[in-house]
Amino acid sequence: MQELLIEKIRTDGGVQSRERISDDYVMELAELIKAGKKLPPIDVFNDGTDIWAADGFHRILAHIKADKRTVRCNVHKGTKTDAMWASCAANQEHGLRRTNADKRHSIELAYTLKAGSSDELIASHVGVSGELVRQVKNAMRQVGKLCQPDKVTGKDGKEYPARRIPPPPPPNQAVTPEPRKTLPPLALGRVPPPPPAMRPVKKDRLDEVGQVIPDHLERLFDRAGEVQALLSKISGIRGVLRTAQEEGDVLYGDVNWQSVEAALQTAYSDLKATIPHAVCPWCHGTLTDHCKGCGKRGVVGQFRWDTTVPREMKP
């Protein structure tokens, strides 16, 4: 175990397997640190040039909040890819309990790293059910994020021929049935009229949890791109500042890097929480003035859905 400077540990580049950071949990850990509590060391991978965090992202931010410059680490030899693979298996039995979104994000990351892995290998490594792995894998194939390999690697490390499965139809796409074939008319009978032209049927649009989105809320879901654009700008700012810090740019000599990083992370998390995730389960999107569950928006973000909505109200 080593005590490393936080500024030397890289947490960018998509190494984190959680879907989002919990600011409340960061503050809780920061208070423990200020009170003299020593948190468990984090796992990092050193490739000889960079040190990549594999877990403990909340603990890193908590140390920054507590005005600490160093953090205890278990240092392993390995690459960024090794850190990402280890991150997929983190927090199964300790730390902040993973949300369903965290688990899905870990599965996606694991398949991105090792696309030729079997469902059983991914499920065992991430610590989730095989059914959830299959759901996420099929969703990735639908949007072109994952191709079907010729061979898969099992839990035993051996390769096996992949079972060929036809790709599922794209989501939310109505399937137009073929016109029904009619028998030829009888010689003395009446010629039946031609079948009516098939009319396109508007299929209900669903939110991220499978609920039908009311027509008056579709525009709100469409505006999620506005928030994504702001998130991209914040990510760009973080990238510019990280480069300036690494290169020792004197223009930014008075910048408190830890404070700025924490502020940008908070802004990023707060904005991301506003993205519509599901129709409000309390008012069902009717925008009533009395609904405190959604703040009169008719929708809730993923963080509120995961942490506030009671289990019995979820589909």
Query: 298-312 pLDDT, tens per residue?
Result: 899 998 888 888 888
Handedness of CA 224, 227, 229, 231 (dihedral sign): negative
Residue 33 pLDDT: 92
Q: Residue 189: which pLDDT band, with cuts at 50, 70 and 90? A: very low
Q: Give a yes or no: residue 93 inside a domain.
A: no
Whole domain around residue 103: which residue ranges? Answer: 99-170
Q: Give a yes or no: residue 231 inside a domain.
A: yes
How far apart, in whole angstroms, are the C-alpha atoms of residue 295 and residue 13? 34
Residue 150 pLDDT: 58
- Interval 226-249 mean pLDDT: 88
CATH of residue 154? 1.10.10
Q: Residue 219: which pLDDT band, with cuts at 50, 70 and 90? A: confident
How far apart, in whole angstroms, are the C-alpha atoms of residue 181 and residue 195? 9
Q: Give a yes or no: residue 198 inside a domain.
A: no
Q: Give a yes or no: residue 85 inside a domain.
A: no
User: How many domains are there within the chain?
Assistant: 3
Do residue 219 and residue 309 come from a single domain?
yes
Query: 147-183 pLDDT, tens per residue?
Result: 665 566 666 666 656 565 555 555 555 555 556 555 4
Query: 19-59 pLDDT, tens per residue?
Result: 788 888 889 999 999 999 999 999 999 999 899 998 888 89
Query: 89-133 pLDDT, tens per residue?
Result: 888 777 788 888 888 888 888 888 887 778 888 888 888 888 888
Do residue 74 and residue 125 come from a single domain?
no
**Helix axis angle, 23-34 relative to 257-272, nearest 10°?**
150
pLDDT above 70 as % of the chain: 81
Do residue 265 and residue 299 come from a single domain?
yes
DSSP codes joined into one string, 44-84? EEE-SS-EEE-S-HHHHHHHHHTT-SEEEEEEEE--HHHHH
Determine contact, residues 284/190, Cβ cutoff 8 Å: no
How far apart, in whole angstroms, are the C-alpha atoms of residue 284 and residue 4? 49
Q: Give a yes or no: residue 18 inside a domain.
A: yes
Burial of 161 per CB tally in 10 Å (0-12, 13-18, 19+): exposed
